[in-house]
Amino acid sequence: MAAVLIIRTRLIAAAMVLLAAFIVMGASSLDAARAQSAAQSDDAAPDSVAPDGAAPGTLTPVPCDTLAGFTHERISCSYLHVRESDRGRQLMLAVAVVRARQADAVASPVVFLHGGPGGQIVRAARHFATMPINATRDVILFDQRGSGLSEPQDCQDASQAFLEMLAADLPASNSVQVQAAIEQRCHDEMINAGADLNGYGTAETVGDMDRLRRALGIEEWNLFGVSYGSTVALDYIRTQPEHTRAAVLDSVYPTSAPGGGDTATRNFVRALQQLYADCRRDDACRQAYPGLETSFLATLIALEREPLAIPVADRSLVPSGVFHLNAQDFASIIHQMMYARETISIVPMTIDRAARRDAQGLTGIVSVLAPLATRIDLPALLSVDCRERMLTRGRTIRDFNRLERFMRRQLTLFDTQDELCADWAPDFADPAFNEPVSSPVPAIFYSGANDPITPPSATRDAFRLFPNAQYVHVLHTGHGVDRSHACIRDVTAAFLDDPTALVQDACVGSIAPIPFVTAVAPSSGVLPFATGILQLQMPFLIVSLAAGVLLAVIGGLWTLTSVLRSGYGCSPSSLTIGSAVSAGAGALVLIVFAGLLTLVVADTGASLTPTLLAFGVPEDAGTLLSLPWAALAVTVLSLGLLIAAAARGGANTRPHTPIAVLLTGGILMLAVLWWLGFFARLPG
């Protein structure tokens, strides 16, 4: 289970954090007047109740295993009932409360505000149970309206359609049209369901927060906002300062920051330049990937001319089994990878593989990142973005340099906003929403040097308007600083204990540079083994592998007993003995391989570069990948010897049956490894 937890929290969580690249730039919401209006409209209509009879503003408890698929002794779950608008639907927002580890803790709680818009956090509630801030204070989580586990969950087919659009061999102009059609279908579906798309925004979320605060009986709490969550926190501070004790604002997306593809491009190019500089300062990276910038640009040009067909084994993700990687796809993948320190470490290797058109070598990365497209919550993303950022000053940039102009044509994911926003949710936010927020509330601001979407300059600009705030800039880190380092989590906890004290952030200086990966023992089977077998996500293969091990053990013991026992009238032939020995050796090698691979995967998953598993295993573990081939060779030898022994006859044939059982176990294990991809490529 330790290995399972390591992989779940470090490998897949590191990958999941990349989702923000698709959703974070659809950022903010409405002004304070709307928040107050929404709250008043809820309170003014007591006769309007939710489908289950609960009045708006009330909490309905629900088992966490029913809501989010887990149980935890310190976590309770519920739905907060709210109204979409005075003419919209009833909504139920998923809520999780993680009680403090100290049973007698009385410290004011923390409400965590997830990013997006369209992200989610309730599913990750157990992660907060081990965080330093949870030692003495409760942590409150909720999925914002239109996001995550909150109900209703609209446009469920849109995300799969979006993924299939990315996988298709479409030129940039066609992909924009297809994406716009997907989003338009979502719009029409929601309107036909009676939705009010003007009921989604930051001001609405701020109103939901205050309803949640009152429902929980809290007078004052602390805010913790990451990415778009910082937008929500800033607007809450502006409208509800009397209920805000302190705020943690990480990778800040100010209310005044413009959205859209131009801004995203400029921020991405800045992060790329930081990546190139970091690689040049790293001797191994500089030697392994000279001319990284030139290689990346040349790869984009080559992919514009001819996309690269990447095989995808999971047909539930890509029904065709092929992901056609074009320039827009590759730019988006690199953009996503720049979010997290763990994936930044393999960006140079990913660029190198694409430059060499190594389709097989990119299979793991596509398999990790492609599912993220299926977690986009379009209603929240487009409603908030269209209403709050379309009219922001500076949204259109006219002074692009040559590199920025080139990269802008690759980032097409944002281009449908200009086509759809006028009709999606035409009730634009009051321009006052986009004014900078200033407040005396104590706050700590975090920024990451490698952040590709919310640059440090945006965080600094917001920080300067908080006279009682502190600012921590972290090198070698992307988007979402607090979740990247234990050091920062400790700083956060200390700040919340005493927001007026100067934070002791000396540990930030000890954060090591990003450990760029320059060598790997490649295998397309390692990632499916880690995610499917160790995380219990492939029941059929798990049962097959377990059955193979069981048959091998039973067959081995039975064979040994049959060979050693006397009284059969004659001794086993040398062919029979040879078959038994080679079958046993093959099965033993496979069992040892599975055990050692589990240890390597766990160790890599706990390292600074867990997503290395998308390519294979560390180079020094490369010899491990030859074991399945050795087992295959001796298993084939054993099968041949057994057939020969049976054909010759005349000797003790009683051991043939247990040898057949032993061989069946080995062949079943080999079949599982073949299915996972361990025979697709030799290490080297």
**Do 97 and 140 contact (CB within 8 A), yes or no?**
yes
Q: What is the pLDDT of residues 157-211, one digit of tens each?
A: 888 898 899 899 888 778 889 999 999 999 999 999 999 999 999 999 999 999 9
- Residues linked to residue 571 through DSSP beta bridges, in sequence order: none
Percent of the chain beyond pLDDT 70? Answer: 89
449 and 544 share one domain: no
In 72-154, beta strands by DSSP E: 75-83, 90-98, 110-113, 139-142
Q: Is the dihedral of CA 531, 534, 537, 539 positive or negative?
A: positive
Q: For residues 182 and 162, is the Cβ–Cβ distance under 8 A?
A: yes
Q: What are phi and psi of 552, to 5 degrees?
A: -65, -45
Q: Please give the Cα distance from 486 to 127 (Å, whole number).
A: 13
Residues 137 and 216 in one domain: yes
pLDDT of the residue at 681 = 60
Which structural domain, as residue segments, surrounds residue 592? 522-676
Q: Is the pLDDT of residue 649 over 80?
A: no
- What distance in Å separates the CA atoms of residue 332 and residue 310, rounded to the nearest whole number? 16
| 265 within domain boundaries | no
CATH number at residue 441: 3.40.50.1820
Tell me the range of 465-474, 592-601, 673-682 where mean pLDDT is highest.
465-474
Tokens representing 398? 């006219």
Q: Are residues 443 and 550 in the same domain?
A: no
Q: Which of 492, 423, 411, 480 is nearest to 447 (CA)?
A: 480
Determine which of 262-266, 370-374, 656-660 has the lowest per-residue pLDDT on average. Answer: 370-374
Q: Apex CA 163: angle with CA 159 and CA 166, to 5°? A: 140
Q: Locate 388 and state its tokens.
A: 């709050």
- Which of the listed residues 460, 486, 510 is the one where a domain comes to its end? 510
The predicted pLDDT at position 155 comes to 92
Highest mean pLDDT: which of 132-146, 517-531, 646-660?
132-146
Q: Does 49 lie in the same domain as 22?
A: yes
DSSP label of 87: T
Average pLDDT over residues 55-62: 93
Q: What is the dihedral of CA 510, 511, 512, 516, to 10 degrees?
A: -170
Looking at the fold, whether 141 and 22 belong to one and the same domain comes out as yes
Confidence at 34, pLDDT banded by 50, 70, 90: very low
Residue 575 tokens, joined: 């062919």
For residue 456, being part of any structural domain is answered with yes
Residue 27 phi, psi dihedral angles, 5° rounding: -95, -95
Q: Residue 146: which region, alpha, beta or left (left: phi > 0; alpha: psi -120 to 50)?
A: left
Residue 306: the pLDDT is 95
CB-neighbour burial class of residue 184 (10 A; exposed 0-12, middle 13-18, buried 19+): middle
Q: Which of 450, 475, 510 is the last residue of a domain?
A: 510
652: pLDDT strictly greater than 70? no
| Nearest CA among 55, 128, 44 for reference residue 92 | 55
Does this model's pTM top 0.75? My answer is yes
The answer to the question of residue 418 being in a domain is no
Looking at residues 91-109, what average pLDDT do you find?
Answer: 95
Q: What percent of the chain has pLDDT over 90?
A: 68
Q: Are residues 580 and 613 in the same domain?
A: yes
Question: Is 52 among the domain residues?
Answer: yes
Q: Within this chain, do residues 439 and 586 fall inside the same structural domain, yes or no?
A: no
The helix or strand, by DSSP H or E, that contains position 59, with its residue range, turns out to be: strand 59-62
Let me know whether 505 and 526 are in one domain.
Answer: no
Q: Where do we find the tokens 């330049």? A: 273
Dist CA 652 CA 626 (whole Å): 35
Q: Are residues 68 and 214 in the same domain?
A: yes
SS3 per residue for 334-381: HHHHCCCHHHHCCHHHHHHHHHCCCCHHHHHHHHHHHHHHHHCCHHHH
Tell me, yes or no, whether 296 lies in a domain.
Answer: no
Residue 72: its pLDDT value, please?
97
User: Do residues 277 and 247 touch, judged by C-beta distance below 8 A?
Assistant: no
Does 479 lie in the same domain as 544?
A: no
Residue 274 lies in a domain: no
**Same domain? 643 vs 580:** yes
Predicted confidence band of residue 570 (pLDDT cuts 50, 70, 90): low
Q: Is residue 543 part of a domain?
A: yes
Confidence of residue 229 (pLDDT cuts 50, 70, 90): very high
Other CB atoms within a 10 A radius of the CB of residue 591 amount to: 19
> For residue 167, is it within any domain?
no
Number of domains in the chain: 2
Q: Among the three residues 461, 476, 510, which one is the final residue of a domain in this structure?
A: 510
- Report the chain's mean pLDDT, rounded to a whole number: 88
Sign of the dihedral through C-alpha 531, 482, 388, 199: positive
Q: Is the domain of 446 the same as that of 560?
A: no
